[in-house]
Amino acid sequence: MYFLKAKGLYLQVAGLMLLLAGFLMFFSTSEAQAATFAQRMANMAEIKDVRVSSDKDKARIVLDTTKDVTIKTSVLSNPPRVVVDVQGAWISPEAKKTVNIGSQFAKTVRLAQFDPNTVRIVVESTMNANNRKFFSLAGGPTGHRLVLDFGNVSKGSSGAGIDFGKGGSDTGNTKPTEPTTPEPPTTNDNKPEEEPEKPETVEKPVVEPEFTPGISGKIITIDAGHGGCDVGAIGPTGVTEKSITLRIALELQKKLTEEGAKVIMTRNKDIEVSAKRERATDVEELQARCDIANKNNSDIFISIHMDSFTSSSPSGTTGYFYGKGTKASRRLAQYVSEGVVSSLSTGNRGTKSCNFYVVKHTDMPAILLETAFISNEREERLLNSEAGIRKAADGILNGIKKFFG
């Protein structure tokens, strides 16, 4: 009896130890996975934006990336396309995905996350290997750039007369090399690789705005990110970014109106903002949002978004502002993101300088808020609830209140 009991006890203890060992293994494995993931994320390049320009000699596509990247080039026919796979990279949810270049050398560029590690860039172009030149450069708004030139690539860019040297090729796995000639001095902003600047993109002088205290009477444009055919990012259970951004925007509209602000909405239903609707290019759609803020002489512009990543781990709130813009934009980004962090209890990812279209092409303090990560299950659930929507709107409101003082 006693022996049996002791044996039972022994078995129980052994069972407990096995359980404990299992737990330890589980935790150390997931910790190791988290570490590997963090490492992988840190090693990946984020493609923040795509810019295009063209002149009589060539069409140029510049991708702003956070790291130097490795590319693999191939071609497709019907219609003729050049495919550039960027390895170890992911696209910012706010980067433009389709841009019309409208040049004889390259018609359009499209970006897509091909797999968790690869961003595929497809350029509609008839240019053969002799009429293409791909290379990477340090600098630019995010630290690195991948430049894709199509046309008479042996010529320097529009009077700049700089030969960037031979970079990249079309023979399989290639790392675009740094230019063989030294980079030109970076003391002025008019870097030749960003030429030609179109006349309408000449930067305006930065003028810090002055405001009377208080929200009452202020003109505030709220931009619910995405909409219509552009769903934005999609969460693990299928919640769309465009639906959450609209819900937060409508709640914020109500709260700001109660405070006496004049609120302008870029959209108040599930629709594209451009009059061209689903036929609009990314740039036309984003410009339509800026036009609404600019034409209404808005005091501030708030673009509401949900962040996303190729894995479910990242979480938290980020406030973006245009790096070459006003100090007021930076302050607005800080106050609004801090307001959201304290109201929603999300992690604080801080404020970041960016080149996003809507904050760059608006004439007033402007921010793009990544409220939380829709790719994170917990945050998707949080923002898909009435309480989450209310808290997000409260957080933004508190930030705006602090901004106007």
For Zn ion, the binding residue among 167, 176, 196, 225 (CB under 5 A) is 225
- Based on the shown chain and the rule CB under 5 A, indicate whether residue 314 belongs to the binding site for Zn ion: no
- Phi-psi category of residue 100: left, alpha or beta, with phi > 0 → left and psi -120 to 50 → alpha: beta
Closest distance of CB 226 from Zn ion, Å? 6
Chain-centre distance for alpha carbon 11: 56
Whichever of 91 and 328 has its CB closer to Zn ion, that residue is: 91
What is the rounded distance in angstroms from the CA atom of residue 316 to the CA atom of residue 273?
28
Residues of span 356-395 touching Zn ion by CB under 5 A? none
For Zn ion, the binding residue among 44, 45, 53, 93 (CB under 5 A) is 93
Which tokens hold the place of 96?
């433009």
Among the residue ranges 57-65, 68-76, 90-98, 141-149, the one whose residues contact Zn ion (CB under 5 A):
90-98
Whichever of 179 and 395 has its CB closer to Zn ion, that residue is: 395
For Zn ion, the binding residue among 167, 168, 232, 325 (CB under 5 A) is 232
Closest distance of CB 183 from Zn ion, Å? 33
- Please name the residue that has the structure tokens 């006003």: 326
Whichever of 93 and 316 has its CB closer to Zn ion, that residue is: 93
Closest CA to 361 of 299, 265, 283, 248: 283
Closest distance of CB 402 from Zn ion, Å? 24
Whichever of 242 and 391 has its CB closer to Zn ion, that residue is: 242
Whichever of 149 and 282 has its CB closer to Zn ion, that residue is: 282
Among the residue ranges 116-124, 155-163, 227-235, 333-341, the one whose residues contact Zn ion (CB under 5 A):
227-235
What is the rounded distance in angstroms from the CA atom of residue 59 to the CA atom of residue 63?
13
Whichever of 246 and 344 has its CB closer to Zn ion, that residue is: 246
What is the rounded distance in angstroms from the CA atom of residue 99 to the CA atom of residue 110?
7
Whichever of 183 and 230 has its CB closer to Zn ion, that residue is: 230
Among the residue ranges 101-109, 177-185, 225-233, 347-355, the one whose residues contact Zn ion (CB under 5 A):
225-233
Among the residue ranges 110-118, 165-173, 304-312, 343-351, the one whose residues contact Zn ion (CB under 5 A):
304-312
Among the residue ranges 61-69, 86-94, 140-148, 397-405, the one whose residues contact Zn ion (CB under 5 A):
86-94
State the number of binding residues for Zn ion (CB under 5 A): 4
For Zn ion, the binding residue among 305, 331, 360, 391 (CB under 5 A) is 305
- Based on the shown chain and the rule CB under 5 A, indicate whether residue 319 belongs to the binding site for Zn ion: no
Closest distance of CB 233 from Zn ion, Å? 6
Binding site for Zn ion (CB under 5 A): 93, 225, 232, 305
